Chains A and B, each alone.
Chain A
Amino acid sequence: MEQLIKKLKGMVHLRAYRKQRDDLHFIMVDKPQLEMILAHLKNNEGFTHLAFLQAVDLIEDGKFQLTYMLYNYSTSVNLGVNVLIDRDDAEMNSIHKLWAHGWQYQRELHELYGIDFPGSPRVEESFVLEGWEEMPPMRRDFDTLEYSDKTFYQRPGRSTNDPAEYMKEKMYKNYPPSPGIRRDDE
Chain B
Amino acid sequence: MNKKHINEIEDQMKLANEGLPEKERGLFADARPTTVDAFNKYYEGFLNWARSRSLWMLAFGTGCGATELRPLMTSRYDMSRYGIAPRPTPRQASVFIIGGYASIKTIKRIVRSYEQMQGPKYVIALGSCTINGGMYFDSYNTINRLDYYIPVDVYIAGCMPRPEALIAGFNRLKEKIRAGECEGMNEYAEKFDWFKKNQKQIIKNWNMPDYNW
Q: Which residues of A come within 8 Å of B, CB atoms?
A: 128-134, 137, 142, 144-145, 147-148, 151-155, 157-158
> Which of A134, A142, A148 contacts B137 (CB under 8 A)?
A148
Neighbouring B residues of A129 by C-beta, 8 Å: 104-105, 141
A119 to chain B, nearest CB (A): 27
B132, A144: Cβ atoms under 8 Å?
no
Neighbouring B residues of A137 by C-beta, 8 Å: 140-141
Stretch at the interface among B2-10, B143-151, B162-170: B143-151
A133 to B203, CA, bound (A): 11
A151, B202: Cβ atoms under 8 Å?
yes
- Of A131, A137, A144, the most chain B CB neighbours within 10 A belong to A131
| B75 interface hit (Cβ, 8 Å) | no
Contact of A148 with B131 at beta-carbon distance under 8 Å, contacts A130-B205, A131-B204, A133-B204 already known: no
B203, A154: Cβ atoms under 8 Å?
no
Neighbouring B residues of A158 by C-beta, 8 Å: 132-133, 137
**Interchain Cβ contacts under 8 Å between A and B, 24 examples:** A128-B141, A129-B104, A129-B141, A130-B108, A131-B203, A131-B205, A132-B204, A134-B140, A137-B141, A142-B140, A144-B138, A144-B139, A144-B140, A148-B138, A148-B144, A152-B144, A152-B145, A153-B144, A153-B198, A154-B133, A154-B144, A155-B144, A155-B145, A158-B133
B110 to chain A, nearest CB (A): 13
10 closest cross-chain pairs (CB), A and B: A131-B204, A131-B205, A155-B132, A145-B138, A152-B144, A144-B140, A130-B105, A147-B140, A148-B138, A153-B145
| B201 interface hit (Cβ, 8 Å) | yes
Neighbouring A residues of B133 by C-beta, 8 Å: 148, 152, 154-155, 158
A148, B139: Cβ atoms under 8 Å?
yes
Output the nearest chain A residue to B103 by Cβ-Cβ distance.
A128
Neighbouring B residues of A128 by C-beta, 8 Å: 105, 141
Neighbouring A residues of B132 by C-beta, 8 Å: 154-155, 157-158
Mask of B141-179 contacts with A, CB within 8 angstroms, 1/0? 111110010000000000000000000000000000000
> Which of A144, A145, A152, A154 contacts B202 (CB under 8 A)?
A152
A148, B140: Cβ atoms under 8 Å?
yes
Neighbouring B residues of A144 by C-beta, 8 Å: 138-140
- Of B104, B141, B205, the most chain A CB neighbours within 10 A belong to B141
6 further A-B pairs in the complex, CB-CB below 8 A; given A137-B141, A144-B140, A153-B148:
A130-B104, A137-B140, A151-B140, A152-B133, A153-B198, A157-B132
Q: Which of B92-115 contact A (CB under 8 A)?
A: 104-105, 108
